[in-house]
Chains A and B, each alone.
Chain A
Amino acid sequence: MIPADVNDDAVRPARDELEHFADLARQFSRRVVAPVFEGEHPDGDVKLLPGVFTTALDTGIAASPADGMPGRDFGIWGLASSQSREASLLLLGIIAEACGGVAMALNLQGAATNIILSSKKLLPFDVRRPLLCLQEGPWPPCWNALRGTAMETYAAADGDDFLINGTKSFCFGMGESDAWVVFSRMDDGLACFAVPAGVRGITVIEHGQRTGLRACSARRVEFHDVRVPAHARIDEGDAGALALRALALAWLGMTSIAAGIARGALAAAKKYAGERYQGGAIINHHPIMKKLIGGSEARLYAVEASLASCDSHVKNVEEEARSALMLKQSACSLCGIAVTDCLQVFGGYGYMEDFGMEKRLRDIMALGCSLGSPVYAEQFIGASMEDR
């Protein structure tokens, strides 16, 4: 069992540092993300999305394992997140207020980057935009599968190289990637490899239109006798812990994204309720509207409060994964109710694309199902408790 790198003694960023991150995220949202949604593009103009991610890499918001990239240390889930999760969560939450899909893409890019960086391995090729390949079916691997026995993708030694075969699905990330971080079964355990995107034997298929988080690409990646050099192996014999770390970061990030989406919805609903006139009064004077908005405030408060405490009590990576999944599940549930209630404040207008509320609802729904829906989460958490 490897220790989590965050605990009570973690060095927390100073308040002015956090303010700087928050300001950076706000500017990114306003100047880079918001223009993508202008005109009739409820999910963003797909042609402009590559530019968004390039800017995220160039400004250091997106993490990247490549030397010299500004996000290597301070990007979302970059090296500095080993000290504290706070800055990454802050960035993700603010960006999610503008677009959950962009935040999700940055989150998963960060998780893949973090695995490579934390392994401290010198890879035989440059990786700038890695993409995580962990999931094989509709859900991520279950608790026991993280020990490798149930995974269908497998790697076998072949001379000095490894050959990888199998199919990964729902590989999320920022559009084009230059490497895949692939988890596979090997012998009786789990291994993790960095696979250059251009090598022979890889087939990439887009999953097609999805409910929400459409700014974040989702792909199926097939590996047919893909040959990778021995140095491309990332793990030191315990890839299960790496997988847990990736999942833990992704789930924590998704918790913050859920809160961000709900915060955006709530701000919009409060603004609308202060302007819309029905039944002889501005609608925020109606008790039913107070119930919808007040209930949403309370749910969001609970999520933000639990998120604020997530740095302080984690002792090891298994515990962090478990608590991150519990946070993600309850956050998506509570924020999902908040978003649908905020949409209801708008009445029929909330259902139309123009007001942005239906996109938020689609995004939060997709977020709740990604990387483990509640059905999966309950089993994962339950199984993880058996070992305690």
Chain B
Amino acid sequence: MAMISDGERAELLKLRNSRATLTAMGRLLVDGRELSLWEQDTETLPRGARKWRRKAHHFARNYIRPLAPAADLDPHGFDPQPLIREATNQGFQTLILPFPLGTASPLTYLKSTTIQVAVVAEEFATECGGLALLLMAHNLGIVPVLMGGHMRSFFRHLVPAYLGGAWMGRPTTMAFAITEPGAGSDAEYSEGAARAKLAVTARRTKGGYVLNGTKVFISDGAIADKITVYAKLEGEGIESWTCFLVDRTMKGFSVGRRERKMGQRAADASEIVLDDVFVPDKNIIGKVRSGWANNHNVLNYSRPVVGAMALGHGRGAFERALAFCRDTRHEGGRLIDRQEVQYELADMALSLWAARSLVWRSCANFRASQAASSAAKVFASDTAFRVTSRAIELMGDAGCLHVHGVERAWRDSRLTQIYEGTNQINRLDIIEHQWNADFGGAPLR
């Protein structure tokens, strides 16, 4: 028998090779597919989500990746409109709505309202957190209209926006405004909200309401055509919160300060100033005084998507670190061939896999669950921050260089632990939702 080296022997022992020694039945039970983990995961999705994941993967590679470094370095010099137009043309900006209002696959939508958006969010964020937020924040502006549940609002506000984007090449960008200078977490958690000091008010007048006050950190606030704004009625508390659709062309509306952020820099976060803005009754979203419930449930639908974006940041960092370790030689060998490097990479991959499982699980119903949504957001964002940190560490000093894109993913991921409710608030939301129910299988006594 010919002599073989230890390396050749190790290669023979790997299951993909040694399975040849099994019986036919044994071979049948070995997963020998030459598919990437990404493709294997994709195959577990419902048909509609599968289609959108593949499409988003292609879009992210071809349209987002080339723009990402420059958009991060010079966010104020970057023109987002061509990207928004292309995303609209390809149907991504109406994915939160099923046909005929939008582009989501109806059958998949009936099983899971958010999974199609979530898989797209992950793909976009893998290439760039800022550009992903720029595109995804638009959905956040639409969902309050859906939650409002008035067909006349759909036809008055959403259908023209869809038709304008899909058929006339004029996309409408929407945004969502709840945060105020004195109320950040208070707008995202019931206990805090009960004591919140909110300043944006709506005063009743003939034919509508007059809005006054300032909202801050509004994603896409500077570029949005329409913004769903929450305001308390004059002289009342947060229980009177009402959602209004504010058009940027309305008199008294202006954009204030554009924030300078640590990451997700390609997406603007702006202050919007409402100075005696008259909003007609037809622009009230849902019922008067339904704003708190509307807002709270919007967050339940959006938090899994934030979790998916976080997952994308982590995956982007992981993929780039993996490529770096394959390409980089250190002291006579490739980094990827070192055991300690393989250990780190495996740990990162399994963390991301676990986070993806939770995010997809939280999207698995027609109605969003507060506890599951918060859990997905918290777990995925904490995982992403940890994975991006480890990706940088794995690359040593090179990980801190902007040119590799890993540190950008790390900066991007940090925001997912803060917005849509800090992770501390989200943990309280899990308890709030499950307070009167058992976490286990048995009912409470």
State the A residues within 8 Å of B (CB).
40, 42, 135-139, 141-142, 145, 150, 169-170, 207-212, 218, 277-281, 288, 292, 336, 340, 343-344, 347-348, 350-354, 358, 361-362, 365-366, 368-376, 378-379
Interface contact A344-B422, CB-CB below 8 Å:
yes
Judging by beta carbons under 8 Å apart, are B332 and A344 in contact?
A: no
A-B contact pairs, 24 of them (CB 8 A): A138-B399, A142-B331, A211-B411, A277-B182, A279-B189, A279-B196, A280-B192, A340-B385, A348-B184, A348-B419, A352-B260, A358-B261, A361-B262, A365-B400, A365-B407, A365-B410, A369-B395, A369-B396, A370-B397, A372-B396, A373-B393, A375-B341, A375-B396, A378-B340
A39 CB to closest chain B CB, in angstroms? 12
**At the interface, yes or no: B28 with Cβ under 8 Å from chain A?**
no
Contact A277–B422 (Cβ < 8 Å): no
Decide: A344 near B424, CB < 8 A? Known: A365-B400, A375-B393: yes
B330 lies within 8 A of chain A by Cβ: yes
Q: Could you say which residues of chain B place their CB within 8 Å of the CB of A145? A: 331
Q: Within the complex, what minimum Cβ distance (angstroms) separates B75 from chain A?
A: 12
Q: Min CB distance, A180 to chain B, in Å?
A: 17
Distance from A278 Cβ to chain B, minimum over Cβ atoms (Å)? 6
Q: Which residues of B line the A interface, CB within 8 A?
A: 73, 179, 182-186, 189, 191-192, 194-197, 216-217, 259-263, 328-332, 335, 340-341, 344, 385, 389, 392-403, 407, 410-411, 414-415, 417-419, 422-424
Task: Name the 7 nearest CB pairs between A and B, nearest first.
Answer: A280-B195, A138-B396, A358-B262, A279-B192, A209-B402, A373-B393, A211-B407
Residues of A within 8 A of B329 (CB): 137
Residue of B262, B418, B424 with most chain A CB atoms under a 10 A cut-off: B262
Minimum Cβ distance to chain A for residue B443 (Å): 29
CB pair B424–A135 under 8 Å, yes or no, is: no
Question: Shortest beta-carbon distance, B427 to chain A, in Å?
Answer: 8
Contact B186 A278 (CB under 8 A): yes
Residues of chain B with a CB closer than 8 A to A362's CB: 262, 411
Q: Which residues of A contact B418 (CB under 8 A)?
A: 344, 347-348, 350-351
Quick one: closest B residue to A207, CB to CB?
B401
Q: Note all chain A residues with C-beta closer than 8 A to B217.
A: 348
On whether the beta carbons of A375 and B344 are closer than 8 Å, the reply is yes
**Chain B min CB distance to A60 (Å):** 30
Which chain B residues lie closer than 8 Å to A343 at the CB level? 414
Q: CA A311 – CA B394 in complex, angstroms?
A: 30
Given contacts A42-B260, A138-B399, A211-B402, 6 further A-B contacts (CB under 8 A): A138-B328, A210-B407, A211-B411, A278-B183, A373-B392, A373-B399
Q: A348-B419, A352-B260 are in contact. Are A361 and B397 (CB under 8 A)?
A: no
Question: B196 — which chain A residues lie within 8 A by C-beta?
Answer: 278-280
Inter-chain contact count A-B, CB under 8 Å? 147
Chain A residues, CB < 8 A from B184: 278, 347-348
Contact partners of B189 in chain A: CB under 8 A: 279
Q: Are B403 and A138 in contact (CB under 8 A)?
A: no
Point out the residues of chain B lying under 8 angstroms from A210, CB to CB: 400-402, 407
A365 and B403 in contact, given A277-B197, A352-B259, A375-B394 (Cβ under 8 angstroms): no
Residues of B within 8 A of A139 (CB): 330, 396-397
Q: Give the docked Cα–Cα distance between A77 and B230 (Å).
A: 58
**From B184, which residue of chain A is reached at the shortest CB distance?**
A347
Q: CB within 8 A of A279: which of B195, B400, B403?
A: B195
Q: Which residues of A contact B183 (CB under 8 A)?
A: 278
Chain B CB within 10 A, most for which of A145, A354, A358: A358
CB of A215 to closest CB in B, whole Å: 14
Q: Could you say which residues of chain A place their CB within 8 Å of the CB of B419? A: 348
Q: Contacts of A354 on B, CB cut-off 8 Å?
A: 260
Closest to A281 in B: B195
In angstroms, Cα B217 to Cα A138, docked, is 37
On chain B, the residues within 8 Å of A361 by CB distance are 262, 414
**A358: which B residues are within 8 A, CB to CB?**
261-262, 414
Query: Does B393 contact A211, Cβ atoms closer than 8 Å?
Result: no
Q: Name the residue among A42, A207, A371 with the largest chain B CB count within 10 angstroms.
A: A207
**Contacts known (A211-B411, A351-B418); A366 close to B195, Cβ less than 8 A:** no
CB-defined contacts of A336 to chain B, threshold 8 Å: 389
Q: Which residues of B contact A136 (CB under 8 A)?
A: 330
Q: Are B396 and A373 in contact (CB under 8 A)?
A: yes
Please give, as numbers and ranges, the residues of chain A lying within 8 Å of B398 by CB-CB distance: 137-138
A140 nearest CB neighbor, chain B only: B396
Q: Contact between A170 and B397 (Cβ–Cβ < 8 Å)? A: yes
Q: What's the Cα separation between A136 and B330 when bound, in Å?
A: 8
Using known A-B contacts A138-B330, A347-B418, determine if residue A209 contacts B396 with beta carbons closer than 8 Å: no
Closest to A280 in B: B195
CB distance from A336 to the nearest CB of B (A): 8
Contact A209/B73 with A279-B185, A362-B262 known, Cβ cut-off 8 Å: yes
Pick the contact of A208 from B260, B331, B385, B401 — CB < 8 Å?
B401
Q: A131 to chain B: closest CB distance in Å?
A: 15
Instruction: State whether A211 touches B395 (Cβ < 8 A).
Output: no
CB pair A344–B260 under 8 Å, yes or no, is no
Closest to A151 in B: B331
Nearest CB to that of A373 among chain B residues? B393
- The distance in angstroms between the C-alpha atoms of A323 and B395, with both chains bound, is 23
A309 to B173, CA, bound (A): 59
Taking a contact as CB atoms under 8 Å apart, the answer to whether B397 and A218 are in contact is yes
Contact present for B260 and A40 (CB under 8 Å): yes
Partner of B331, one of A137, A278, A371: A137
Shortest CB distance A139–B (Å):
4
State whether B396 touches A137 (Cβ < 8 A): yes
Chain A residues within an 8 Å CB radius of B396: 137-139, 369, 372-373, 375-376
